[in-house]
Amino acid sequence: MLTYDIYKRIKRILPTFQITRHSGFTNQPSGDGVEVVSNSADDTGYITIWGTDTNGDIQYEELTLTGTDAVATTRKDWDDIFGVFMGRANGSSMVAAAGTITVREASTDQTITTVAATEYSSGMACFYMPGEIVEIYKASGNIFMNSVEVVTEANGWPCQTIEYLKVTDYLYLTSDGTGATSKIKVLEQGA
């Protein structure tokens, strides 16, 4: 892997967040919409949902939470949800959940996954960061990363304690069955 160590300063820091495998999610939408709701009125920030549509194409959608009122995705053809995190697709505006966030199928209200209070994410971490140089910190567990395709343990690069990566389009992070935590710095490139 190439390393990038020429930079001016930090653009933003993504706080320590959780990474697991999406394969543990139950009740996948399989051609349905998705709804997100919190049990706390204080959850009013962004949440981003990542997955595939019924054609198998990678999709994401940013939603603005409205506390205890359910918010629906505009996309109604989600097939498989890979992960969700509290913030925008590029990793900005990340704020920990105030309450428990439930991500569910729209038509049957069956829970796909949850983000627990004080946490930032659930499942595979996916970010849209074309051309960005990132510094990835492995805080705990085993992390696998890829910026070309949806990452698995088989096609991912094992993350050492600190890795530098120039992101092609997306940055995908997953973990094995143990789960993991990571922190990311997005760096400004030097002249």
Confidence of residue 148 (pLDDT cuts 50, 70, 90): confident
pLDDT at residue 100 greater than cutoff 70: yes
Q: What is the pLDDT of residue 22?
A: 76
CA 65, 68, 69, 70: dihedral to nearest 10 degrees?
Answer: 70
Please indicate, yes or no, whether residues 40 and 69 belong to a single structural domain of this protein.
Answer: yes
**pLDDT tens for each residue of 45-86:** 999 999 999 999 999 999 999 999 999 999 999 999 999 999
Which tokens hold the place of 190?
């030097």
Q: Which of 70, 99, 121 is the last residue of a domain?
A: 121
Question: 85 with 24: CB under 8 angstroms?
Answer: no
The model's pTM is 0.90
pLDDT band, very low/low/confident/very high, at 177 (cuts 50, 70, 90): confident
Domain membership of residue 2 (yes or no) is no
**One domain for residues 94 and 160:** no
Domain final residue pick, 121, 137, 167: 121
User: Who's near 23: CB < 8 A, 6+ residues apart?
Assistant: none
80 and 116 belong to one structural domain: yes
Residue 2 has pLDDT above 80, yes or no: no
The parent domain of residue 140 ranges over 7-19+125-189
What is the secondary structure of 82-148 as a DSSP string? Answer: EEEESS-TTS-S----SS-EEEEETTT--EEEEE-TT--EEESEEEE-TT-EEEEEEEES-EEEESS
Residue 1 lies in a domain: no
84 and 161 fall within a common domain: no
Q: What is the CATH number of the domain that holds 168?
A: 2.60.120.10
Please give the backbone phi and psi of residue 176, each rounded to the nearest 5 degrees, phi first: -80, -165
